[in-house]
Structure 1
Amino acid sequence: MSARETILKRLRERADGPLEAPESDFAVVTGRGWTAQERLARFERWITSVHGEVIHASRDGWTEALAGVLRDKGVQRLALGHEHPVAAAARTALAGTGIELVAVDRDIESWQREQFESVDAALTSTGGGIAETGSLWLWPTPDEPRLLSLVPPIHIAVLDAETLEDTLFDVMVAHDWAAGMPTNALLISGPSKTADIEQTLAYGVHGPRELIILVRHAGTAT
């Protein structure tokens, strides 16, 4: 009998019965009980505290807000998908505006240099947001690949206000992450930043220097 088998045998033959896994207590990571308004306020406070920018828009008028952002930021080339409703609506709204809409459903090797050097901004959808940390969560797809939110200097993310959850744990439970996750699940809590060089905080060194969140509301934007 091996040492491992001996140890397991002793554990099974304990006088007070076999060992059982303790009951899990997740109270510390859930149960905040915030209202929808409180969730939105907390999300906005945290993400703007790290230089994220939040713009509120109605569900019907968000593409107008997007056009305004692109105009204000001087965006000439916008990378975005085709299939997701956010990308499809943006493509329709921006047709004829003079902004070049860059397709991203290509092999990265065929347009890697273009993505790093000549794309001004990227537009993505989001799975939702986390109020406790001021974070967005994204599940990349071939239509909206991971690098779309990690490379261009400006990342514009569209977030539906009702998809905000209190905590990361609440997101994982509500969307049944245990049943299956993508290769990459992204949590984004502001633009890229680092303080590696002389402890001086710098933005955009390893990714987007600006993160703009368009929050869509079912009614009139607040």
Structure 2
Amino acid sequence: MNSARDNILRRLKTANTTPHKAADIAFEPWGFDKSKSEQEKMDRFCQAMTASHAQVMPIESSQIASTIQALSLEKEWQRAAIGTQGEWHSDFKQGLLALDVIEYQSDIENWKSALFHEVDVGITHVLAGIADTGALVLWPTEHEPRTLSLVPPSHIAVMSASTLHNHFLEVMEEQNWASNMPTNALLISGPSKTADIQQTLAYGAHGPSELIVLILVDK
């Protein structure tokens, strides 16, 4: 228990801190409005995610591998973790050819130490995006566990612009969650953060300090 506490405190001491000002991230809620255009949804999503210290990069699906490769070089990542299946799984692997890659192929206990101490970035698919609040909806499976998005210091989340919805209720309605409820769903609105009593934010204390969203804008 003490080692876990000490680890969190150590990460807090070295984390980037930013004074929090509510006015900087204030948004008028959309409520259940469904009248917004695709461009309005995209603008709102990018603005809200950026305000939460996430990086949003609109790209085409043909650019996934090259974008991951460029990010890996820029940030000097050495080791990455990915799942074993998914629509863009092969693009992930192609973009990570220069890195040491761990694919989720066994029980977490067998590679937990490497995931927590050696992996620089985890890459996942995104089920949907929520424009109103600027959030990602992840639906972890046995082929792409939630630890990929919650543990490594950097997280790349890849989503299609066609899955961008106005609000969370719309996601559940249009994807018929009532008859196909996920056993586990994650809502992610930015990098991991915590704050002290003086409202000073620290990023990466207990999860990724960096969130990069690749949003695929293919028509």
> Which amino acid is the alignment partner of residue 169 of structure 2?
F
Aligned to 2:87: 85
C-alpha displacement of 1:213: 0.3
CA 1:173–1:148 in structure 2 vs 1: closer, same or farther (change >3 Å)? Answer: same
Asked if 2 retains the 8 angstrom alpha-carbon contact of 1:29 and 1:169, the reply is no
Asked if 1 retains the 8 angstrom alpha-carbon contact of 2:129 and 2:135, the reply is yes
Moved more, 55-64 or 38-47: 55-64
- In terms of Rg, which structure is larger? 1
Asked if 2 retains the 8 angstrom alpha-carbon contact of 1:82 and 1:88, the reply is no
Moved more, 117-126 or 105-114: 105-114
C-alpha displacement of 1:81: 1.2
C-alpha displacement of 1:113: 1.3
TM-score (norm 1): 0.81
Mapping for residues 92-107 of structure 1, pairs under 5 Å: 92-95=94-97, 98-107=98-107
Structure 1 unaligned residues grouped into runs of 5+: 1-27
- Percent identity, please: 43
Give 3-state SS (helix, strand or coil) of 1:191's partner.
coil
> Which amino acid is the alignment partner of residue 165 of structure 1?
H
Structure 1 residues 82-123: Cα deviation after superposition (integer angstroms, max 9, x where no partner):
21122222213433xx21111123211111111110000000
Mapping for residues 4-19 of structure 1, pairs under 5 Å: none
Aligned to 1:119: 119
Q: Supply the distance in 2 between the matched residues of 1:89 and 1:155 (Cα, whole angstroms).
A: 16
> Which amino acid is the alignment partner of residue 104 of structure 1?
Y
Aligned to 2:44: 42
Aligned to 1:164: 164
TM-score (norm 2): 0.82
Asked if 1 retains the 8 angstrom alpha-carbon contact of 2:64 and 2:91, the reply is no
Aligned to 1:151: 151
Give 3-state SS (helix, strand or coil) of 1:201's partner.
strand
Asked if 1 retains the 8 angstrom alpha-carbon contact of 2:67 and 2:95, the reply is no
Aligned to 1:22: none
C-alpha displacement of 1:197: 6.4
Structure 2 unaligned residues grouped into runs of 5+: 1-29
Structure 1 residues 187-206: Cα deviation after superposition (integer angstroms, max 9, x where no partner):
00000000146542100001
Q: Supply the distance in 2 between the matched residues of 1:107 and 1:59 (Cα, whole angstroms).
A: 31
C-alpha displacement of 1:168: 0.5
Q: Supply the distance in 2 between the matched residues of 1:197 and 1:115 (Cα, whole angstroms).
A: 31
> Which amino acid is the alignment partner of residue 145 of structure 2?
P
Tell me how large the CA RMSD over aligned residues is: 1.5
> Which amino acid is the alignment partner of residue 51 of structure 1?
H
